[in-house]
Amino acid sequence: MKIKGNNEIANYANKLAHTETKKPGDRTSSSARGPTATKEGAVVDLSQRSKVVQKVQQAIQSEPDVRLDKVKVIKEKLEKGTYEIDFDGTAEKMLRSFLDETI
C-alpha cells in the first residue's frame, strides 16, 4: 500500500506500511494465528493491511484539522500587505492533485 502525497501523514503511513509489510516468503497470516474473541463474544479476524489502515486512521485523527501556526503567519502577512501568491506553484499543485485523482 502506497499513499500519495508529500506530507507528514502520507510519509508516516508509507513508513509504517513499509516496516510492517510481510516479506514475500512469509505466508503466516492473521487468520493462521486464529481469530480473536472480543468482549461481546464476536469474532474479529483482521488482516495485516487492515491493521496498518487502522494505525494510519489513528494518526490522521490525532492531527489537528488546522495548523494554527501557519494560519497565524499568513494572517500577519495579509494584515501587513506583504502576502504574495505563487500563482505558478498553486496552479502546479492543483493540476498535480487533479491528475492524482484521475489516474
Q: What does the mean pLDDT of the chain come to? A: 77
Query: Does the reported pTM lie above 0.85?
Result: no
CA–CA gap between residue 74 and residue 41 (Å, rounded): 52
Instruction: Spell out where the chain has E strands.
Output: 36-37, 43-44
- Which has the minimum average pLDDT: 17-26, 38-47, 76-85? 17-26
Report the amino acid identity of residue 2: K
Burial class (CB in 10 A: 0-12, 13-18, 19+), 48: middle
**Is pLDDT at 4 greater than 50 in this prediction?**
yes
Band of residue 27 on the pLDDT scale cut at 50, 70, 90: very low
Q: Which pLDDT belongs to residue 73? A: 95
What is the pLDDT, as a whole number, of residue 90? 95
**Domain spans of the chain?**
1-63, 65-103
Give the model's pLDDT for residue 20. 54
Q: Does 29 have pLDDT greater than 50?
A: no
> Which long-range CB contacts under 8 A does 4-10 form with residues at least 24 apart?
4/100, 8/63, 9/56, 9/59, 9/60, 9/63
pLDDT for 38 equals 57
